[in-house]
Amino acid sequence: MKVEAIVAPDLNISHHDVIRALRIYWRHAWPAGSGICPVLPDWSDLSLPEVLNRFADETGRTAHACRRFVLRLGNYLYPHMKFAIEQCVYGGGFYFLADCHDDADTPRADDSGQWQVLRTRNFEIKLAIEAAWEDASLPTFRTTSEAATGTFKRPGTDHRRILIVDDEPANAALTDAMLRAEGFGTETAASGADALDRVNEQRPDLVVSDYEMPGLTGRDVARRLKADKDTRQIPVLICTYADVSEADLRPADALLRRPFSREDLSAAVGRLLGRRLS
């Protein structure tokens, strides 16, 4: 699939930015002394459209889809990490994302402890890559989403409350801003364990959870809530980049593909709460 159509004079990333971002990714994903390291592609002589044509195009997952291009580059611990170039649904700018893609492997029961250690380390690599991008003044989801959160109006609070569960503060902040713009009161939890504590204390009307988190995943949270007679009626919406279906994430009630727009989130929340949101 050709991608020349996205290239415009006001595009906020350049061919040079992509090459710099790739080199930074490589330094953190394949550090010196980590063993066998794949060769960094030399695309210095290619144009931006030619570079992006080497990526997999994952655009088109929702009605309000933004552009998303990925390379599965892995890291020295885990082969499925992705280098992504993604378009923000607000403003149309592009940013770089290190996608952990932790769902690609399923651990056996006897190595679940090792798997949790790997997931935690994988996430640390992701954070290091994205912090280095920001130090190099390259756009990331965090910097791009911070600009978007101030664009939403904040009307009066709905009587229903939504708990947002996400280990990435930028994801949580943007989802929070979208839901507050719809009139809801919100709370946030940074982990699955924290989410379960908050649900027991506050009984929210809806839980909106990330899927891939260190420790308890979004699906784990849904299982715990649905297994308890006091919380099983609380609907759970899971948000993810992963190539999974709603059936894969049961007993969660619904799945929302990332990247999603305010309209996507509004429609999903409206279905689960039984009312139409504007």
pLDDT 10s digits, 78-132: 888 999 998 877 667 889 999 887 665 555 445 567 777 887 888 899 999 999 9
Model confidence pLDDT, tens digit, residues 27-47: 999 998 887 788 888 888 888
Averaged pLDDT, 251-278: 83
Q: What is the pTM of this model?
A: 0.70
Averaged pLDDT, 133-158: 77
Average pLDDT of the residues of the chain: 84
Return the half-sphere exposure (C-beta side, CA atoms, 13 A cut-off) of residue 181: 18
Averaged pLDDT, 238-262: 88
pLDDT of residue 229: 94
> In the predicted model, is pLDDT for residue 10 greater than 90?
no
pLDDT of residue 1: 45
Model confidence pLDDT, tens digit, residues 196-224: 999 999 999 999 999 988 888 999 999 99
> In the predicted model, is pLDDT for residue 235 greater than 90?
yes
pLDDT of residue 195: 96
More confident residue, 41 or 17: 17
pLDDT of residue 276: 40
Averaged pLDDT, 161-188: 89
More confident residue, 184 or 261: 184
Domain with CATH 3.40.50.2300 in the chain: 152-269
pLDDT of residue 9: 42
> In the predicted model, is pLDDT for residue 135 greater than 90?
yes
> In the predicted model, is pLDDT for residue 262 greater than 60?
yes
pLDDT of residue 269: 94
> In the predicted model, is pLDDT for residue 158 greater than 80?
no
Q: State which CATH number among 3.40.50.2300, 3.40.710.10, 3.30.43.10, 2.60.40.2130 fits the domain covering 152-269.
A: 3.40.50.2300
